[in-house]
Amino acid sequence: MKKGLKKKNKLLSVYQKALAVCGVFFCTVFGSAMPAFAMNGNADPVTYINNFYTIICSVITAIGAIVLLWAIVQFTIALKGHDSGQRASSVIGIGAGILLICAPWIVKAIAGV
């Protein structure tokens, strides 16, 4: 009888600790919320859109550079191994990398921005 009571008290203690941890977590998350206020009328939303466009273009250009470097390495490995299938896929990768690097300028040329 005493053994079952000990086990029950231990289980109750574990539940109490878990409840206390969850309570502290929720109080921290919801108690430290900061209010967000609207900006004054002197902020132009077009500048924020242009900044976002610039960031996206930078990310796409960086991804294109990574793809281009990877494809060049694959092409040199294919030349050394005389593998025509890998050589063809690496040439396609080189083209895709160049296209990704030039994508922001292509979009500007098409959109006329």
Q: How many other CB atoms are there within 10 angstroms of residue 112's CB atom?
A: 5
Residue ranges covered by each domain of the chain:
1-37, 44-113
Please tell me the pTM assigned to this model.
Answer: 0.58
Per-residue model confidence as pLDDT tens digits over 66-105: 999 999 999 999 988 888 888 899 999 999 999 999 999 9
Which tokens belong to 7? 């086990």
Q: What is the pLDDT of residue 38?
A: 65
